[in-house]
Structure 1
């Protein structure tokens, strides 16, 4: 075998090994103890006591920079978080993970999971700050971000952020507005809400999140017969009807009058829909 043949063989072998690693990493991309949707379906609708999210509200009050109007971007001041307030956040996350959410009402559970997801994401950024993008994090080989990494333990089950979103929040509540509630610490993401979610305010916050995102250019932009929308609507197309018509109807539901009219015109003279996303960290420049 000459040198060229040896080089080719080595390249093919390396490529095959890399493909095997990618396939294996996909097989083991779930958390150590995978969440099962059926397990988390249980609730106690007679529970009157609510879950305390005051520590999370404290963090939001101090470090979330709220946009000037109801459709502006909210930023988070990661750089400004003090060590003592990082301790507050960690205490909150410990408190949440000691709770058995199955003992609470469905409405309380939904707020619990959304707040847990968002607080874990903020802690993740703080633990790795400074970082330009959440996509630079992740403990798994070839990982694009940390979403499959172990993030919390609830009821003895180890959960990743993906478990919380895709095995609990999305399948149990089946509400596309969930995408406007969970925050991935990025410019392109829907806002981190200024209020902690609770059983009493979740419905209002979900709708407010949809309105804020859809009426901002990072969510939807119409230019004549051209439509540019967030990649969220591509990644989770099934949640928005799985076709262009259903997506436009969803967008119109929360669009303000000017955007709603532009979307109607797009429906009459449709072109291709383009998808964009900005993964820069959602911090003030």
Structure 2
């Protein structure tokens, strides 16, 4: 009986993934739209510039060979960010704050556990990945990666392009972008990230009368809508899909996005 239970749990943890719903954590909804101050993400940009490279349709992070200096820079960046109360800034600054922090925390998580083949191998024994594990504390509030994505970013901004901005350190994920998000470049970055992913094979692979889509579009039907609405979204970045008639399948590669 115990052996059967163990095998069942192992199979479940390796194949199943249920995306959390968007549920607002109202504490983080406050902002100061009159505050013109901009946050610096230069340290995060340094880490990206030194360790991210392009290989085909993927951007890969050099977890194996990151320098001690860059590890220190990443730690300093995260420490600087979590010492900030983001509610004191306007929403444009808050968006780039949360996206960059999410991505930086994910990179740090992989580095702390490297070598690892997939982020899904991290977390507690019964979990699929580390997303529900407390990863940082801001304003005395313990936060998980799921909190940042599903209780702050998604419900506050309600922009489907968030799914192209946050990175889960996996090849199937929309690419970790080579530039830090800022309040000034956010819209251009989101548009680029969406177009890049939808025009990649891992995002949308067209095969005659079949579409193989990223599982992101299946997990987050709540955000992308029904099949017609999803196709409208995809065709706005890839016009050939506008009149698609056929079957749709979903896939995802959880392999680490390592160089």
**Corresponding residue of 1:117:** 102
1:149 aligned partner = 133
Kindly indicate whether the alpha-carbon contact (under 8 Å) linking 2:41 and 2:180 is maintained by their aligned counterparts in 1: yes
Moved over 4 A (4+): none
- What's 1:212 paired with? 196
CA-CA distance at 1:37 after TM superposition = 2.0
| 1:253 alignment partner, one of 236, 241, 258 | 236
Matched, 1:193 2:168: no
Query: Aligned-pair RMSD on alpha carbons?
Result: 2.0
The runs of 5 or more residues in structure 2 that have no matched partner are 13-19
Change (3 A) 1:49 1:264: closer
Q: Report the Cα distance in structure 2 between the residues aligned to 1:154 and 1:108, rounded to whole angstroms.
A: 16
Q: Is the 8 A contact 1:66 1:194 kept in 2?
A: no
Q: Is 1:132–2:121 an aligned residue pair?
A: no
Q: Are 2:24 and 2:156, in contact at CA under 8 Å, matched by a contact in 1?
A: no
**Residue 256 of structure 2 corresponds to residue 281 of structure 1:** yes
For these two proteins, the number of residue pairs brought into alignment is: 245
1:43 aligns with 2:31: yes
Mapping of 1:73-84 within 5 angstroms?
A: 73-84=58-69
| 1:244 equivalent among 212, 227, 233 | 227
Answering whether residue 242 of structure 2 is matched by residue 264 of structure 1, we say: yes
Does 1:178 find its partner at 2:166?
no
Query: How many angstroms does 1:82 deviate by?
Result: 1.2
For the 8 Å contact 1:89–1:119, the answer to whether it is kept is yes
1:169 aligns with 2:153: yes
TM-superposed deviation, 1:162: 0.3
Unaligned runs of 5+ in 1: 1-10, 23-29
Counterparts of 2:111 and 2:220, CA distance in 1: 28
Q: Does 1:94 align with 2:79?
A: yes
Distance 1:254 1:132 in 2: 32
**Which of 51, 61, 77 is the equivalent residue of 1:63?**
51
Give the CA deviation at 1:47: 1.0
- 1:84 shift after superposition: 2.1
The answer as to 2:186 corresponding to 1:202 is yes
Within 1, Cα distance between the matches of 2:54 and 2:181? 16
**If each structure's helix is expressed as a fraction of its own residues, which one has the higher value?**
1
Contact map agreement 1:225 1:265 (CA 8 A) in 2? no
CA distance in 1, matches of 2:175, 2:206: 21
Q: CA deviation at 1:141?
A: 3.2
TM-score, normalised by the number of residues in structure 2: 0.90
Quote the residue 1:8 is aligned against: none
| Aligned CA distance change for structure 1 residues 67 and 107 (closer, same or farther; 3 Å) | farther
